[in-house]
Structure 1
Amino acid sequence: MGREFLDVFDKWASYYDDTVTGADDEYREVFKNYPSILEQVASLAYGSVLEFGTGTGNLTEKLIKKGYKVTGIEPSAAMREIALKKLKGKATILDGDFLNFPVSRSFDSIVSTYAFHHLTDKEKEEAVTLYGKLLKRGGKIVLADTIYPTNKEYIQAIEGAKAAGFLNLAKDLQTEFYTTIPYLQEIFKENKFSAVFQRCNDFVWIINAVKTE
């Protein structure tokens, strides 16, 4: 459910914003076009928004600027503290994760960026099923995350990171739960969502899934 990575999140919190702006060579391509990716996700959302993995609040800021009422879910206390200072009370940020969170009401949109890979494939399926119950027909799940068209391309990404000397990136790709587009397409289809995938850089895709029933 992502909580097994809490130590990493808490340590990363103090320099996360530096990483996403390109300070870390290993992750520069992962976060290429980061502001644009967040803007696109925010533009695809609408209405009342439930955001998972708010981190330091960068997407949350963009959602608020568009006039959305945002409820954020973040398991890292260090990340939440930074986000709350940044957002100055303009959003609610609660302790929770993708599958366990203190919210039961319905939303128009559910969003997340750079975090869905913290779930195993089975947990991703559980999450989409759960979110389908929180959305009405026409509601959206909008995700930006590292995914791959095929498992072969996923393996190639790991080998490419190793060849470039990016051993931290290679370890990350092997340790967390990166998945493939066909697997996600099937999950969304089974849960009555129509999903469109848009590539943003060599790692990240935006998924725009609309509930059809």
Structure 2
Amino acid sequence: MGREFIDLFDQWAESYDETVSSKDNEYHEVFNQYEEILDRVANESYGTVLEFGVGTGNLTNVLINKKLNVIGVEPSPVMREKTAERFPELNVVDGDFLSFPDFDETIDTIVSTYAFHHLTDKEKEQAIRNYGKLLGNNGKIVFADTVYEHEDAKKEIHERVRNQGYKNLLHDLLTEYYTTLGVLTEIFDKNGFDVSFERLNRYVWLIHAVKKDT
């Protein structure tokens, strides 16, 4: 359920912000237009927002600046410490996409950036099913993450990265649980959401899902 990556998150905590802002490392296309991506997610959010994988708090900062009520969930102790230093008043709890405390507030929006791929497709479906029960009327899910357009695109991207000599990025793409738009469409539709997708850079798509009326 993504917790197998906690050691990676802990190690990455010190250099994460440098990685996302750099124009020269092998992840530069993954994080291309990073600030704009955070803005898009925040602009689609409303009310009380539950953020999964707060990391160092970059999306959190944008959400707070838009006067949204944010609850953070983060499995990495090091990342939680960094976010707590940055936002002392923020409620950040130990948890992940599948395991988190109960909340007293009604959740209006569930958000995440660069993290949902840490779940297998089976776990993704379990998460979305749980979120349908958690969200209030007109609730929505707004994620931004690396997704493959289809299986052929997956092969093309892997070959491109291999030819670029980006060994770390290729390792991530081969070992983490990146999925396709088709799989996500089926998961959201099956669990009572109207979902749409918008490409934000070569790798990242905006996933916008609205809970259907029941």
Which deviations, in whole Å up to 9, do the C-alpha atoms of 1:53-81 show, x marking residues without a partner?
Answer: 00000000111111111110000011111
Which deviations, in whole Å up to 9, do the C-alpha atoms of 1:12-67 show, x marking residues without a partner?
Answer: 00010001102651100000000000001001000001000000000001111111
C-alpha RMSD of the superposition:
1.0
| Conserved? CA contact 1:197–1:208, under 8 Å | yes
Deviation at 1:151, TM superposition (A): 1.2
Moved over 4 A (4+): none
| Conserved? CA contact 1:128–1:191, under 8 Å | yes
Alignment-derived partner of residue 183 in structure 1: 183
Alignment-derived partner of residue 136 in structure 2: 136
Alignment-derived partner of residue 95 in structure 1: 94
Matched, 1:53 2:22: no
Structure 2, unmatched stretches of 5+, are none
Q: Structure 1-normalised TM-score?
A: 0.97
| Matches for 1:46-85 after TM superposition, within 5 Å | 46-85=46-85
**2:94 maps to amino acid:** D
Alignment-derived partner of residue 161 in structure 2: 161
Alignment-derived partner of residue 39 in structure 2: 39
Q: Structure 2-normalised TM-score?
A: 0.96
Tell me whether 28-37 or 79-88 shows the greater mean CA deviation. 79-88
Q: Aligned partners of 1:138 and 1:174: how far apart in 2?
A: 36
**1:94 maps to amino acid:** V
Identity value in percent: 53
**2:130 maps to amino acid:** L
Deviation at 1:196, TM superposition (A): 1.1
Q: Aligned partners of 1:24 and 1:16: how far apart in 2?
A: 14
Q: Aligned partners of 1:173 and 1:37: how far apart in 2?
A: 20
* Number of aligned residues: 212
Which deviations, in whole Å up to 9, do the C-alpha atoms of 1:96-116 show, x marking residues without a partner?
Answer: 010000124430000000000
